[in-house]
Chains A and B, each alone.
Chain A
Amino acid sequence: MKNKRITAVFLVLILTLGSLYVLQRLLVPKYQTGIVEGSMVEEYYKDESDHEVLFIGDCEVYENFSTITLWEKYGITSYIRGSAQQLTWQSYYLLEDALKYETPKVVVFNVLALKYNEPQNEAYNRMSIDGMKWFMSKINNIKASMTEEENFIDYVFPLLRYHSRWSELTGDDFKHLFSKNLVTHNGYYMRVDSKAQSEFPDPRPLADYTLGEKAMGYMQKMVNLCKEKGIKIILIKAPTEYPHWYDEWDAQVVEFAKNNNVEYINYIPLQDEIGLDMSVDTYDAGLHLNTSGAEKMADYFGAYLKANYDLTDYRDNEKYVAIWQEKVDFYNAMKAQQYDELETYGELVSFGANAIED
């Protein structure tokens, strides 16, 4: 009799936990169509090959550098550990997390996020954190990133946060209940469409141009971590001009780089040298580069990396050639699909905002 009771309790427990697990899997956003940026952080773990160059940062890295061009032109193996509005402390913890799996020769960090010194919003936090594996880096990332409205427990049990998504469930939620497709090319988010850069609003003056202590502190931690591991770190400002990057901010990063003996390159004044034509090389009127722009940027940056850092050209290595050929094929297939859609519909329909399911 006692055994039966224990079995019954055990059964209840298993059934309840199992149901909750499946329910949670169903209700958490899948980020497979439209808003794919939420898949980026998790996708990194699927890439089992190592990388000599690791990019860290926001959309100014994951939309502006083609990792496939770096491979095809220079044999550089790279990955972009990017996410939407990735804040500086999130970059630090994502870097710390990545270094558990590999030790790249060069880390590249984009500095635009230094403008934020406080947690910003939950949607972006979720996209930058939820996909991380559960280690201390994730716990610390949550603690550093939470807005006042958020609770730590919601990150531990996402079901508590997403339980009301019943009415928003789409086909993707069922289709990708237990498996997800790749949405990036080693972290690069592809967009081949084009929308010419327009006139930007004048930048507003700021009462105080000092970059925040928290943001600068985490950049310092990134530099320290790289130095500890013998990794070179390059600070960059991507070549796109909006949101505005103030000269006063630039001067602080220049000073920081000098004090830490690391390199900082602001690519905004180098647009012409890179070969960017912002009437065709951007898909959203100048905020981000499209694929033709990202390929030009990668070509320019790859040549610089090759000339100044001790990177390996893996194009003679069969193992890497096999790995990267698959990536190149996926890249070309997606590119062809996007150009196809542009020709057929005049715009992308399976990618970007048009693909967001109601």
Chain B
Amino acid sequence: MKKKVLSIMLTCMLSLGILAGCGSGDSPASGSHYDSAPPTSQDVGTQADTPATDLGYIYTANGVDVAVKASMEPIVAAWGEPDKYFESESCAFQGMDKVYTYGSVVISTYPENDKDYVLTIELKDDTITTAEGIYIGSAKADVTAAYGTATSETDVALVYEKGDCQLTFFFEDDCVTNITYAAIMN
């Protein structure tokens, strides 16, 4: 009889042990997003020697490469305090969405595992150019010459996708009016 009681207890303990013992990932309610491990680029940082393979299109300024889904920390460290800063708490405290404005560059971030990662990079005027030499005011023909055939096109924009990045050029009268790098999520 003792053996039976022992085997019952062992079975119960084993079942609980199997369930409780594996892993220690965040729960969805822990205040961080569930999305498992951040993309590989996030740990690489954003310095000029960052490999470009997984990052898609990269915006470079003052010796710093800024890529979507990359950590915001080294950018703030390199560029210092932004000219303008805005933050908004997401519903149910799933982190802060932040917007940093550095002159004509606006970077928005998303939170993950208590860190901020680049969601979008927006170029606002003709004082800055993309790594491929396109700026606000460039002609549509210059964009296709530099980037080739767009992944998709709408009435107002050409959209290029590479890696985790969607690069969009907006046009008015065939002139670029806005350039946005955006992270492709999910």
Residues of chain A touching chain B, judged by Cβ–Cβ distance below 8 Å, are: 8, 11-12, 15-16, 19-20, 23, 29, 31, 34-35, 37-38, 58-59, 84-85, 118-127, 147-149, 159-168, 198-202, 204-205, 207-208, 242, 284-285, 287, 352-353, 356
Contact = CB atoms under 8 A, between A and B. Distances in A.
B12 A16 contact: yes
Contact of A123 (B12, B29, B36, B180): B29
Nearest to B158: A207
Contacts of A127: 28-29, 92
A126 B91 contact: no
Contact of B156 (A11, A16, A149, A207): A207
Given A15-B12, A16-B11, A163-B23, A123 B86 contact: no
Interface residues of B, number: 48
A29 B90 CA distance: 19
Interface stretch (B13-21, B58-66, B130-138, B140-148): B13-21
A167 B8 contact: no
Given A35-B92, A168-B30, 12 more contacts: A12-B7, A20-B16, A29-B29, A85-B91, A121-B34, A122-B35, A125-B28, A160-B19, A163-B22, A165-B30, A207-B170, A353-B93
Nearest to B29: A29
Nearest to B4: A8
A31 B28 CA distance: 11
A163 B92 contact: no
10 contacts: A11-B8, A15-B12, A19-B12, A58-B91, A84-B92, A122-B33, A123-B34, A124-B92, A164-B25, A204-B120
Contacts of A38: 29, 92
A161 B27 contact: yes
Q: Is the interface of B mostly helix, strand, loop or mixed?
A: mixed
B31 interface: yes
Contacts of A356: 31, 93
Given A35-B92, A59-B91, A20 B29 contact: no
B4 to A, nearest CB: 5
Contact of B35 (A31, A85, A149): A149
Contacts of A166: 20, 24
B113 interface: no
B46 interface: no
B185 to A, nearest CB: 8
